[in-house]
Amino acid sequence: MLIYLRVLKESFNFAVSALKNNKLRTFLSLVGVTIGIFSIIAILAAVDSLKKEIDGSLSSLDTSTIYLGRFSFGPTDVPRWKFEQFPDVTYDEYQYIKRNVPDVKAVSYTLNVPQETMKYEDRSVSNVEIGAITSEYYEIEALDIAEGRFFNEAESSSGVNVAVIGDEIANVLFDGAAQAVGKQARLYGRKFTIIGVLKKEGSGLFGNSRDTAAYVPVNAVRKIFGNSNRNLFPFIVIKPEKGVDNAEFIALLSQKIRMARGLKPDEIDNFFVNQLKGFTDLIDNITGQMNIVGLIISGFSLLVGGFGIANIMFVSVKERTNLIGIQKSLGAKNRFILFQFLFEAVILAVIGGLIGLLLVFIVSIIASSFTGDFEFVLSAWNMFIGTAISAAIGLISGILPAISASKLDPVEAIRTGM
């Protein structure tokens, strides 16, 4: 065992010495591997960071949450022209679900309305995301109140002009959350009383968040836009009780809506039941495909780096043919020569990989500083993958040159070197 350790140590020392003595050649070999590892790990880190940000954006919602509406969140077999003719879900259907569908923890009626400008005296905030919802939405989405409260069922049903606003709106219009509660701001040309302010959240994936959002009773918005506006895209958001079988719940829900709409057995559903879990599964599928495509593209860079190492190693064998012959004539075994060149190739590749990882780390820090709250993540797993791939490339690239070096005849090697 000690003999093998000694052979490995001497082979390693020979490899390091050879790399030091040929600095330019070593540098040129490193470039190809560095670019390849940088490409692969940068893509993996970017996709991981994107997935983490998306998961964080969706973490406030339970994946069992269901969205009932005339649009599908994912691919569908229903032709576009057909589902565009589907009727909108109505406020009456929302109440029907509350009364007739069992195992419902919370159900809310929502309207997707355009962004609006909110004003207070001489101050204003533009592009405010308006959440036109019923009071139950507070139980479905994790909304943290910093000051005040959320509107109750009575205020929601009667459509009172009250609002719960984000932290940034409170700071711009009222100099802070504490000063906002009880004040009246103008929205849709009407006065809305601020009854609550949400905790600061920070920027979301696409630059917006609840900090620039205002939640108002849906019936207050219905008074403004009416009930027949096809541009509002209403949804009924449903959160089943914990532990309920979602497939059975969705089947029962679909049956109830079909009955309420008087659909015949041979007619297709004129609505879509979208589950948030299906949406997250779709995102996982997309990020998985992005990973695969990125790895294939960056793999070509790594392949070029591997060929570069193999080429350099063959040149190294040719240059050191005389030395190999002398080592063999002095008793060096084939495995010693083999390990010597393998170590040289692997060390070369690993150094290139580490430099690539360092570049990814630097780029991720710079990118994170320019993208605000979006953080690029270089995980320990990705670093391990980068190092392992580097070592594997070195091993594969160096195996043929190492074998050819180990099989040289000592007499012929010395004669050739002379």
> Where are the domains positioned within the chain?
2-57+282-417, 87-270
66-96 residue pLDDT tens? 899 988 877 788 888 888 889 999 999 999 9
Range in 60-64, 86-90, 273-277, 399-403 the model is least confident about: 60-64
- Residue 402, number of CB atoms within 10 A of its CB: 22
Choice between 24 and 161, residue whose per-residue pLDDT is larger: 161
Higher per-residue confidence, 44 vs 372: 44
In the predicted model, what is the mean pLDDT of the chain? 80
Name the nearest CA neighbour of 137 among 155, 123, 118, 151: 151
Strand partners, 318: none
CB-based contacts of 31: which residues, under 8 Å, 6+ apart? 305, 308, 352
Give this prediction's pTM.
0.62
pLDDT, one tens digit per residue, over 273-300 is 888 665 666 666 776 777 677 667 667 7
Indicate the pLDDT class of residue 206, thresholds 50, 70 and 90: very low
- C-alpha torsion sign, points 369, 375, 378, 382: negative
